[in-house]
Structure 1
Amino acid sequence: MTYRHASMVLATSLALVLTATASAQERMPPAPHCMDAVGVQEVEQASPRSIALRAASGQAYRIDFAEDCPGVRAATTLKLEAPAGWACGRPSERVVVDGHSCAVSAVTPVHARDYASVARDSDRLRTATLPALTIRQRKEVRRGFGGSASYCFATRNVRAWSSDPQGMLVETNPHRNGGHRYYRVELGSHCRQLDRAPQLSFRSGMQNGLICGNPGDHVLAAGFENGDLRSDGLAPLPQYTRGACTIQAVYPASSQASN
């Protein structure tokens, strides 16, 4: 995908800026909010005034521009010019998009949920601006949303799940989900069907096998079989034997304790 190619160019260009002394020593940020720009993993853009990046550490950041800087995801070459490879929002920092320089005004750490929202909107915007298709072109352009591992997991890779007051925590195969083992799934409301459901399944609103928090994404609780003692005391019974819960947001969680 274009944004992955761009982030590789970004990381490579920054590595060339670092001095041998800086790269040989332990890298300490000039300020707590600064982003280590070496080894940037992903770059997303849902607004011309900002971009979202995921650093090598996994921490996500938002970079704001002094003026509109569109076209980051579609860029052929993308460079971040920052002293010693640290992006902090200083006047000397800029992002160069296909030769066009965009001054950086601020750098801010963001939560995984916020980054996932930007990534999802970025993917939707890119899909919405694809050119009109002809029959001969149809095979060359993806259909629907591709979905990034930053905000999607594939239903076929789900290994386990648990429910809690925040929604759900889903365990997946990290080798098939961008290295992420756990995903936080936020629901439209507390889904009581999940509390003692023997099994469940996920339904993709885009019908592509990906759960991203897109419209139509649901988790479906399976019913208890007749005579199952786990159904005792659950009233009214139909509420617990069937039902779909709306999925509002999906994003990686670092561990079982992550929110």
Structure 2
Amino acid sequence: MTLHRVALSTGLGLVLAVAAASSAAQERLPPAPHCMDTAGVTEVEQASPRSIAVRAASGQAYRIDFSEDCPGTRTAGRLALEAPGGFACGRPSERVTVDGHACTVSAVTPVDNRDFASVARNSDRLRVATLPAMTISQRRDVRRSFGGSPSFCFATRNVRAWSSDAGGILVETNPARNGGYRYYRVELGSACNALDRAPEVRFHSGLQNGLICGNPGDRMVSTPLDAGDERGRTIVPATPDRCQILAVYPEQRQASR
């Protein structure tokens, strides 16, 4: 049985490297449907010492659980996943190495984009919480990079359009500037009845960094109609409707263009 060792890229932009790969001529078939192909892992997030979330080259996200605490993946200088045959399934022979420290994998589970986005948000919050105390001016510099992954955030400047459907709010962005994602699902904390007929809406970042991630203070705000507009009497209130954003995640993955 061949043991494949794959270096993982993190949110800090570490270079992805494959130390051993199977023959390109052979079709790669997973041992079980839940197994993850370790070749081409693109993102790693951690919100718990005993688990991480990763995104495979296919775009599918997975949660990897450990049999013991394995912190530090976001700040590791060297992060590697070792799995027999190049597939991680949760077998005892699999492990993640964080700067030379080996952590045994106990389970591998496919997750959806919403779950991955939740882990990514908490991962960034955990990382910021561990930073040393700073002055107010320094803290503004930290906020500009907070929650910047295109997997679970979109920049307000890149919004092209939005619509509402049975699933909530769907936002269209520029995929070339949002990691290849064109559509994002936005879950709101209230009904926000005025949004459907509002003449204009805007997105407000709670961290004032231009990114909408579902962080505290992120809101979708409707622009009220002019006082003389007859529609304002029955459809749109005179004051803006501020709707709390609870979650943001890609609706589907498309190639950049």
SS at match of 2:27: coil
1:234 maps to what in 2?
234
The code of the aligned residue for 1:102 comes to C
1:134 Cα shift?
6.0
Question: Does the C-alpha gap of structure 1 residues 43 and 160 become closer, same or farther in structure 2, counting only changes over 3 Å?
Answer: same
**Aligned-partner Cα distance in 2 for 1:203–1:178:** 21
The code of the aligned residue for 2:21 comes to L
2:127 maps to what in 1?
126
Q: Which residues of 2 match residues 73-88 of structure 1 at below 5 A?
A: 73-88=74-89
CA deviations over 1:179-215 (Å, ceiling 9, x no partner): 1111000000222111111211011111111111111
Name which of structure 1's ranges 184-193 and 143-152 shifts more when overlaid on structure 2: 143-152
1:166 Cα shift?
2.3
Match of 1:3 among 4, 8, 11: 11
1:253 maps to what in 2?
251
**Aligned-partner Cα distance in 1 for 2:96–2:140:** 31
Question: Does the C-alpha gap of structure 1 residues 90 and 255 become closer, same or farther in structure 2, counting only changes over 3 Å?
Answer: closer
Say whether 1:17 aligns with 2:20: yes
**Aligned-partner Cα distance in 1 for 2:167–2:82:** 39
Instruction: Name stretches of at least 5 consecutive residues in structure 2 with no aligned partner.
Output: 1-8
**Aligned-partner Cα distance in 2 for 1:173–1:192:** 27
Considering fraction of residues, name the structure with more helix. Answer: 1
Count of aligned pairs = 245
The code of the aligned residue for 1:250 comes to V
**Aligned-partner Cα distance in 1 for 2:182–2:234:** 32
Question: Does the C-alpha gap of structure 1 residues 168 and 140 become closer, same or farther in structure 2, counting only changes over 3 Å?
Answer: closer
Indicate if the aligned counterparts of 2:152 and 2:249 stay in contact, CA closer than 8 A: yes
Query: TM-score, normalization: structure 2?
Result: 0.87
**Aligned-partner Cα distance in 2 for 1:17–1:4:** 23
1:35 Cα shift?
0.6
CA deviations over 1:139-180 (Å, ceiling 9, x no partner): 995236242111111101000000123220000011111111
Q: Which residues of 2 match residues 98-247 of structure 1 at below 5 A?
A: 98-133=99-134, 138=138, 142-143=142-143, 145-225=146-226, 231=231, 234=234, 238=237, 242-247=240-245
CA deviations over 1:102-161 (Å, ceiling 9, x no partner): 0000000001000000000000111111123369x9399523624211111110100000
Indicate if the aligned counterparts of 2:10 and 2:45 stay in contact, CA closer than 8 A: no
1:232 Cα shift?
7.7
SS at match of 1:107: strand
The code of the aligned residue for 2:249 comes to Y
Indicate if the aligned counterparts of 2:195 and 2:241 stay in contact, CA closer than 8 A: no
The CA RMSD measured in Å over matched residues stands at 2.5
The code of the aligned residue for 2:237 comes to P
The code of the aligned residue for 1:3 comes to G
**Aligned-partner Cα distance in 2 for 1:118–1:51:** 8
1:242 Cα shift?
2.7
Question: Does the C-alpha gap of structure 1 residues 2 and 131 become closer, same or farther in structure 2, counting only changes over 3 Å?
Answer: farther
SS at match of 2:115: helix
Query: TM-score, normalization: structure 1?
Result: 0.86
**Aligned-partner Cα distance in 2 for 1:255–1:159:** 17
The code of the aligned residue for 1:104 comes to V
